Structure formats: C-alpha cells, structure tokens
Amino acid sequence: MPEACGAKRGVAEISAGERGTLDSAFWCELWSFREAFRVLVWRAVRVRYKQTAVGIAWVVLRPLMLVAVLTLIFGVLAGLRETGPTPYTLLVLGGVLGWQFFSLVLTEAANSLVANAQIIGKVYCPRVLFPASVLAAGMLDLLLTLLIFVPLMLWYGFLPGWQVLLLPLGLVLLAAMTLGAGLWAAALNVRYRDFGILIPFVLQLGFFVSPVAYPLSVVPVAWQWLYELNPMVGVLELLRWCLLGGDIAGLSVAVAWSVVFALVALVSGLRYFHRAERDFADIV
C-alpha cells in the first residue's frame, strides 16, 4: 500500500505544504497518482465487505430492507401509498438509493483521513485521494444497486420514459454535492474530531427532512419554499424523476438550488481541503 501512494518522505516534508493554490500543477499531480487512486478505491471496496457472510450482496440487501421498512411505516401505516400513479415501492427506492449513497459516502469520507493516519504520516500522496476514493467506491455500489430497478419495474409493469437518459446528469450532481460535503467533513474532522460524532446525527435528522420516503408533492405548498432550502431535495427529486418520470416543472427551483449548492460546496471544499492538508500529517 505505501508503494502505491508514491515515494516515501519525511513528516516534515509532508507538512510543509509548498503548494497553496489549485493550479495546473495540482491537477497534473493528481493525474500522476491515478494508479494510487485505483488502489485506494479497490481497498475501500474490499474493506467495506471484508469478513461479511454475504459479501457484496449487501449492496442489494441493504436498500431492499430499508425500502421494505419504509413501505410498511410510511406507505401502509401512514397511508402515503396513494401519492400518485407511481408504485410507492419504486418511489421509495428512488429516494433510498440517492440518500444511502450520500449518507454512507459522507460518513466514510469524514473519517477517511483519520482512518489512514499511518499512511499519511509515512508516505506522500495527494490527501484528496482518500475522500475521493471513498466516493468512487460508493458510486460503484450505487451503479450496482440501480440494477434493482429492472426486476421491480417489470414486476409492477412500470417502464421508464425518455428522461432515464438524463440519469447520468443526476448522478454527477449527486457526486459533486457529496464530494464537496465530504471534503469539508474530512478536513474539519482532522482538526475537530467532534465532526465524526456530529455527522451521523445530522444525517439521521436529514433523512426525515429529505424526500426519501415521500415525494415533494406531499409537503404543503406553503412550506415547500422552506423545505427546498435543503439541497438534497432537488438532487433526490431529480434522480426520482429520471427513473420514474413525473412533473419536472415543479422541481425547477429545487434542482437549480441544488446545482448552485453543489458547485459552491465542491469548489470551496477543494480550496479549503487544499489549504488545510499541509497540517494533516502533524495532526492525525
């Protein structure tokens, strides 16, 4: 593993932080460490399912179990199954996949530097590779999980429309927002370990104020402007629309806000992470 991350350096050299801006040299350096990135991604995948009885099958089992519970609680007990022509199970699955990716990757990205403290202290590679590799591993899981939609759509006799061709754009938006938040979380968690405790709690709250188990349409119109301030609303509803169709006109404001938030989070996250990484080897 150390060999994959580049030549060994002393801790003092690592923490010098001679690069202070996101210039072309930064991106060229990232490209030169592409093999290290591939190794880190594969390592993240293996660690996630190491010593589990069913292995990678958890990629499918985890969302299916959550969808079953949410369908029982919100669909049957709370009576939300009659929210439109789309089968409620498919509607929930569309929200679960996006939220599960965001919450899992954000949690792992926040701890990615602390968990790799020994590597960071002994060898050099761009620190951004650690949260980025978590994102890439999570995206592989998400792409596999999307295959669940095929048999379920056949079961319900529900066929996707032309908008499914725009699904890659929705995934890019989700990835950008997740990486931006993950970079902030990873850098802050190195200095303030409180974030490692705070993030899971915030995600638990975020689950209920995001359209995971219910669509945006069930939120009272008078409250939708406030609800849409949550940037995950636009992302999740866009993914749901790509997979299941519906009215996109009512989502324009929420999606536009999500795009703006994702860009700001990604750019500011990269800049803050790049400035803070000079001290990572001394702190972790």
Tens of pLDDT, residues 8-60: 443 333 333 444 456 778 888 888 999 999 999 999 888 877 767 677 788 88
Measure the CA–CA gap between 75 and 123, rounded to whole angstroms: 51
Decide if 30 is inside a domain.
no
- pLDDT number for residue 179: 98
Number of domain units in the chain: 1
Which residues 6+ apart lie within 8 Å of 271 measured at CB? 22
- In angstroms and rounded to an integer, the radius of gyration of the C-alpha atoms of the chain is 20
**pTM of structure:** 0.87
Q: Between 161 and 176, whose confidence is greater? A: 176
- 209 neighbors 227 (Cβ within 8 angstroms): yes
Q: Best-predicted range by mean pLDDT among 97-106, 219-228, 269-278?
A: 97-106
Residue 17 within a domain: no
Residue 27 lies in a domain: no
pLDDT above 70 as % of the chain: 89
For residue 46, the model assigns a pLDDT of: 85
Q: What is the pLDDT of residue 278?
A: 78
Considering the domain boundaries, does residue 63 fall inside one? yes
Domain assignment present for 100: yes
Q: Residue-wise over 67-101: b if at least 16 C-beta within 10 A, else e?
A: beebbeebbeeeebeeeeebbbbbbbbbbbbbbbb
Decide if 240 is inside a domain. Answer: yes
Domain-located, residue 32 = no
Range of the domain at 235: 2-11+37-283
> Which of 275, 231, 8, 262 has its CA nearest to residue 128?
275
